[in-house]
Structure 1
Amino acid sequence: MDRVPRWLAERTGTTLPLTAVTKGTLVSFVTWLDQVKEAAPASFDRRITGVTVTARRPPYGIEVPKEATKAAREALKRLKADRERLARGRGQAVPATPAHLRAMVTASAEMPRAEGPQRRWKAYVLPDLAVYRNRALSLIAFSIAGRAAEVSVLDLPDIVLVDAGLEVHVPEVKGRPARDVEVAYGEHPETCPVLNWLAYKGAAEEGGLGETGPAFRAVDQWGHLGTSPAIVAQLAEVARRVQDGVPPKLKARVFTATADLAALAGWVSLPRWSPPHWLSPGYWSRSSRSV
């Protein structure tokens, strides 16, 4: 939240506190998103809501006046009418389906030579440990409707094997409350999150996984298990590494921050599913646009 006050200070010579969430600062926030960040207008409304919600929560505890949010959204209307601005951004994440996940986890482990003079000069095959990790990661992310940031902070004690499958504790991330999600065995072994987690964990234990620490860890091209967690950027790389098994429109866009949320919401919002059974994994409300 401090980037906008710094930008305003450069323009006006006056430094405002973070608690100055007013009509003027929210309209300036829209201007900053448009002129400095050059963000897509479709994301502005969500960002405005994020600022107001954060301001109301501890440690700020600020009451944001309704006229401030109204003025910010009025300023946004003009930007949404501009076709050039609407073309910004990568667009909405394409939701993955179980069929897509099956194609991903059964894709070849060979990584082809990348384009460009600074890239590696030959293709190589992903080590088994990296393949097991990628499969378990993608399937558990789907099963818990996990945002990339949530999956990347999972620790080993957060994933517990029980008779019915797995119990996954998703920690609090970016102000979203923590939640516990039950993950059942899958109908198909190749896309079963429980079996793939056990396969990855068993292989990782041989490489020194231990009892604590990040659940999904970095693996180098020689198959050595690291100690650092697989960061959000590496989660996105999972989709790119299995391009042969993913439809063109889905490539490199499966593991955006909310794609697994959209995936689960789109797949289970069919007549045979009752909302109470699947709202909790992604911490949705009934009024969520994903639902």
Structure 2
Amino acid sequence: MADNLPAPARAADRPLLPAEFDDQLRARLAALDAASDKHARDLRPGNTVRSYASDWKTWTAFCQQLQIPLTAATRGTLCAFVDYLWTRERRAATTIDRKLAGVSVTLRRDYGIALNKEDTKSARELLKDYQRRAAEAEEPARGRGKAPAMRVEVLRQIVAKCSDDIFGVRDRAMLLLGFALAARRAELAGLRLRNVIRDADGHGLLVHVTVSKTSPRTVPVPYGQDPATCPVRAWETWVEKAQLADPDRHAFRAIHASGSVQPKGITPQRVGDIITAAGARARIPVLFTGHSVRSGMATEARRAGKDRKAIAKVTGHKPNSAVLDGYMQIVDQWGEQDNALVGLL
């Protein structure tokens, strides 16, 4: 019976262990890693790349002052980095948190160093302590704060003030489609004509948001009840007036002072400027930013009773996202189920 047992596996029959890789195989694997890193960088939105570069520049200046290597990201140096940004540079808490994330990404990507989670947790706990002390001392808030949400009633006023020339047609389409997509500045700037498709059954548009801070998403945009604020009609008018045809070119373009539509797209910064200017043109006493259409859509959808999962599909958030919670709280704080005081007094 023992004669029927399979023979023990020979060393040549099993997969090689990493320690057994030869130099040629290691070189091939390193080339694959490099290609993967390049592919990820190429797909990463431009504003994210710029943010990481800015974060690393700040980290470099900090390390030079302490005369420590750039790779010395220990618990002590990360906490000292937070102190440096809060005390010396007086940065906003959101900026400091983002810079910690940016340094972490660059160390992992360029140096193969993964930060210890407990170390980064300690740095962020220190940041929370600074925030708490600042609040207790009633210090002025740092940074710009959250972008004001563009409510639907205000959006109506803003698009009504957009002119009927080519500039106004573009701005109206950008505002309404941006609201419908809960779009970030970079997402609107990154849209290509091929990303916006008419639904085959005539329900509206299918918009593939491929340039995103998080993950790409497809948003079904239906026709609006009011033609004046319908994102589908506004988009179709823009395409017709601008004579957009090349699917590989940008959906929203620069326009010459003469009114001629240019082949090049507009930058994320320009998207924000257009949204801010549109609000000012309508004499709205709020300084809207590029993020206002995004926060406005999430807030207004919640006010209308839409399910948070449905909202998350449009915004691209995870259903349990803390950022999405921030939008929800604006509305839910007055709801009977979420406010323990409702009906008590």
TM bin, normalised by shorter chain, reads 0.7 to 0.9
Check conservation: 2:97, 2:124, Cα contact below 8 A.
no
TM-score (norm 2): 0.68
The equivalent of 1:218 in structure 2 is 254
Structure 1 residues 76-101: Cα deviation after superposition (integer angstroms, max 9, x where no partner)? 42254236864322222110011111
The equivalent of 2:75 in structure 1 is 23
Give the drift of 1:273: 1.6
Note the aligned Cα RMSD (angstroms): 2.8
The equivalent of 2:227 in structure 1 is 189
Give the drift of 1:216: 0.5
Would you say 1:264 and 2:297 are equivalent positions? yes
Identity of aligned residues (%): 23
Q: Comparing 29-38 with 195-204, which one deviates more in the overlay?
A: 29-38
The equivalent of 2:98 in structure 1 is 47
The equivalent of 2:141 in structure 1 is 87
Give the drift of 1:44: 4.7
Q: Which runs of 5+ in 1 are unaligned?
A: 110-126
1:178 is aligned with what amino acid?
Answer: P
CA distance in 2, matches of 1:144, 1:57: 32
The equivalent of 1:168 in structure 2 is 207
The equivalent of 1:103 in structure 2 is 157
The equivalent of 1:4 in structure 2 is 58
Give the drift of 1:282: 0.6
CA distance in 2, matches of 1:286, 1:246: 35
What is the SS of the residue equivalent to 1:241?
Answer: helix
Of the two, which has the highest radius of gyration? Answer: 2
Give the drift of 1:70: 2.4
Q: Comparing 81-90 with 212-221, which one deviates more in the overlay?
A: 81-90
CA distance in 2, matches of 1:61, 1:170: 32
What is the SS of the residue equivalent to 2:303?
Answer: coil
CA distance in 1, matches of 2:113, 2:215: 18
2:250 is aligned with what amino acid?
Answer: P
Give the drift of 1:268: 1.4
Check conservation: 2:169, 2:234, Cα contact below 8 A.
yes
Give the drift of 1:108: 5.2
- Change in CA separation of 1:157 and 1:71 when aligned onto 2, cut-off 3 Å: same
Would you say 1:68 and 2:135 are equivalent positions? no
CA distance in 2, matches of 1:49, 1:8: 12
Q: Which runs of 5+ in 2 are unaligned?
A: 1-54, 329-345
Check conservation: 1:80, 1:86, Cα contact below 8 A.
no
Would you say 1:154 and 2:191 are equivalent positions? yes
CA distance in 2, matches of 1:227, 1:266: 35
TM-score (norm 1): 0.79
The equivalent of 2:318 in structure 1 is 285
Aligned with residue 264 of structure 2, among 228, 232, 235: 228
The equivalent of 1:138 in structure 2 is 175
The equivalent of 1:124 in structure 2 is none
Give the drift of 1:75: 4.1
Give the drift of 1:222: 1.4
- Change in CA separation of 1:67 and 1:46 when aligned onto 2, cut-off 3 Å: closer
Check conservation: 1:218, 1:227, Cα contact below 8 A.
yes
Check conservation: 2:56, 2:102, Cα contact below 8 A.
no
- Change in CA separation of 1:144 and 1:61 when aligned onto 2, cut-off 3 Å: farther
What is the SS of the residue equivalent to 1:280?
Answer: helix
- Change in CA separation of 1:32 and 1:158 when aligned onto 2, cut-off 3 Å: farther
The equivalent of 1:77 in structure 2 is 129
What is the SS of the residue equivalent to 2:76?
Answer: helix
How many residues get paired? Answer: 264
CA distance in 2, matches of 1:46, 1:68: 10
Check conservation: 1:217, 1:225, Cα contact below 8 A.
yes
Q: Comparing 191-200 with 127-136, which one deviates more in the overlay?
A: 127-136
The equivalent of 2:218 in structure 1 is 180
Check conservation: 2:198, 2:205, Cα contact below 8 A.
yes
